[in-house]
Amino acid sequence: MSIANYIRDDLAVRLRSGQELPAPLTIDSLAEMYQVSFTPVRTAIAELIDNGLLARTSSRRLIVNPQLPVDGTAGVAIVRPEPPRDPYQEVVGDLVRASLQGKAIYLREEVTADKFDVSRSVIRNIFHRLAGEGILDHIPRRGWRLRAFSQVDLKSYIEMREAIEVKALNLAFPKMETQQLLKMLEANLYPQAPGDSPRIDESLHGYLIGLSGNTYFKDFFDKQGRYYGLLFRWEDSDRGAAVETVRQHREILTHLINRDLKASQEALSYHILDNHPILGRAALPGDEGRDGILSTGAHP
């Protein structure tokens, strides 16, 4: 299933069951909701209009078709379509888990392509993308080497990150705009239904760094933060960890909106230092002898 078809089918279920949609209903709001570009949203909207679920007013405003009947699904579980398979996310999940075993392994494009049932060119593109994220290194004439996770390195990175972000918060505090903080607060959402995932918005961290005015802060995260940013995003794929991240983001933002600098500092420090329930257990003693799950067992 393509992403456009998934959006079309998911919106159709939401519309027919009377579920709430973003307001105002626009291409922008739907693209934000599904975390995609405008193109698949436009395709999905066009088909939903053709199918009579959506309509446009004389002013071209997008609305739910007022003649659309709503299914009588009260008390009945609503079956939503499964998102389309994303080989990038599947590869990332395997690579992160392999990295967390603490071993630097070599990867073969053809073996990985067979494992995920995709072409070698797709895997090569994914590997190049992950090299940019800092989890893979391309070694001339030897292939791709996975970066090994280290608890010592993680601890050092987190300590530096905490020092820099708290300093950035202090520098940015007088220049913060309440409306921007409220927008970020609203973007961090708890699950709206039992089957839904929480919605995490990480823009607070970039906002603090940018508003601080210190270009060396950004330089640190550009060079050192890519790999750990990837690990943190993977960690948030765990629903419990993601819900806790939303709670902590909302706590920091609420203190900032209330102009409580000390409470904001403490909440930010806690968020950075103590919000890694999965990574904190990685590469423990006993993992050293386990093979990397994408390795062929020998160097190329």
For the segment 204-213, the average pLDDT, to the nearest whole number, is 96
Mind giving me the DSSP string for 39-65? Answer: HHHHHHHHHHHHTTSEEE-TT--EEE-
Tell me what pLDDT residue 71 has: 59
Q: Please, which pLDDT band fits residue 279 given cuts at 50, 70 and 90?
A: confident
Q: What is the mean pLDDT of the chain?
A: 86
Tell me what pLDDT residue 74 has: 45
CA distance 136 to 111: 16
| Long-range Cβ pairs for the range 82-86 (8 Å, 24+) | 82/1, 82/6, 83/3, 83/6, 84/1, 84/2, 84/3, 84/5, 84/6, 85/1
CA distance 269 to 264: 9
Q: Terminus-to-terminus CA distance in the chain, angstroms?
A: 35
Tell me what pLDDT residue 78 has: 65
- Note whether 108 and 296 are within 8 A (CB): yes
Task: Report the percentage of the chain scoring pLDDT > 90.
Answer: 58
In order of start, what are the domains of the chain with their CATH numbers? 3-64 (1.10.10.10), 87-146 (1.10.10.10), 151-281 (1.20.120.530)
Over residues 69-128, the pLDDT tens digits come to 665 554 445 677 887 778 888 899 899 999 998 888 999 999 999 888 888 888 999 999
On the question of pLDDT at 1 being above 70, the answer is no
Tell me what pLDDT residue 243 has: 93
CA distance 225 to 108: 26
Run of H or E residues at 216: helix 215-235
On the question of pLDDT at 242 being above 80, the answer is yes
CA distance 152 to 154: 5
Task: Report the percentage of the chain scoring pLDDT > 70.
Answer: 90
User: Burial code of 244-262, b = ≥16 C-beta within 10 A, e = fewer?
Assistant: bbbebbbbbbebbbeeeee
Tell me what pLDDT residue 142 has: 84
CA distance 211 to 172: 5
On the question of pLDDT at 293 being above 50, the answer is no
Over residues 159-207, the pLDDT tens digits come to 999 999 999 999 999 999 999 999 999 999 999 877 788 999 999 999 9
pTM across the whole model:
0.66
Question: What's the distance, CA 266 to chain centroid?
Answer: 24
Mind giving me the DSSP string for 99-155? Answer: HTTT---EE-HHHHHHHHT--HHHHHHHHHHHHHHTSEEEETTTEEEEPPP-HHHHH
For the segment 39-57, the average pLDDT, to the nearest whole number, is 92
Nearest to 109 by CA among 94, 96, 121, 95: 121
Q: Please, which pLDDT band fits residue 146 given cuts at 50, 70 and 90?
A: very high
Which residues neighbour 130 within 8 Å (Cβ) at sequence distance 6 or greater?
91, 92, 95, 136, 230
- Note whether 292 and 146 are within 8 A (CB): yes
CA distance 276 to 281: 9
For the segment 17-39, the average pLDDT, to the nearest whole number, is 86
For the segment 29-56, the average pLDDT, to the nearest whole number, is 90
Task: Enter the tokens of residue 104.
Answer: 């630097």
CA distance 137 to 143: 8
